[in-house]
Amino acid sequence: MKKAIGLVVVMMLVAIMVGTYIKNQIESGKAISERAVSYEMDLNKEGLEKGQLAPDFTLQTLSGESLTLSEFKGKKVVLNFWATWCPPCKEEMPHLQEFYEEYGEEDNVEIIGLNFTYRDGSIEKVQQFVDSYDLTFPIALIEEAGVDQRYQVLTIPSTFMIDSNGRIQHHIVGPLDQKALREYVASLE
């Protein structure tokens, strides 16, 4: 009799342990699933993390047109923040232009230059710079702080590589040459 009672107690304890283990596994699976859903939702928000949607904006271009980032969905975008007084920006500009001419169409990529106009002093100064480098890609004017702050740009040049789905894939601080541009763009969808 004592053995039977002892066996029943042991079996009950084993059943409780197995039940607790199964319950913990189910809860753990739910937590993993919830984290995956949360991560998925984070990717559908605008943000600066890899895979997040690039923060949208609308700015005036040097040619007086309105430029909205989201309108470039379906194309790869090289979003380059720069200023006329920035030596590394001056070093980078010929590479951006050469890449744009040589691979823009072939690689389905658009280069958008975002000029810190509110720090450059005047649109005329920006136009002179663009003319001196024979730049043909769109130049959008940041005439007041805002877009630069949304992108948390503290150092220029600063470039964001955005895939054809409008998601940020790379953020590069410092000048790029044509080889680096080609490699980064090739890694985009």
| 103-121 tens-digit pLDDT | 999 999 999 999 999 999 8
- Same structural domain for residues 98 and 10? no
What's the mean per-residue pLDDT of the chain? Answer: 89
- Same structural domain for residues 111 and 22? no
> Whole-angstrom Cα distance, residue 146 to residue 153?
10
Q: Answer yes or no: is pLDDT of 41 > 60.
A: no
Two structure tokens written together for 7: 């066996």
- Same structural domain for residues 81 and 126? yes
Average pLDDT score over residue span 128-146? 97
Q: Answer yes or no: is pLDDT of 81 > 60.
A: yes
> Whole-angstrom Cα distance, residue 137 to residue 153?
21
Range of the domain at 129: 58-186
- Same structural domain for residues 95 and 162? yes
- Same structural domain for residues 167 and 88? yes
- Same structural domain for residues 36 and 63? no
Task: Provide the domain count of the chain.
Answer: 2
Average pLDDT score over residue span 172-176? 97
- Same structural domain for residues 128 and 94? yes
CATH, residue 156: 3.40.30.10
- Same structural domain for residues 34 and 65? no
Instruction: Read off the pTM.
Output: 0.78
- Same structural domain for residues 159 and 103? yes
Cis peptide before 157 (omega within 30 of 0): yes
Q: What's residue 36's pLDDT?
A: 46
Q: Answer yes or no: is pLDDT of 43 > 80.
A: no
Q: 106 to each of 50, 97, 185, 186, how far by Cα in Å?
A: 25, 14, 11, 11
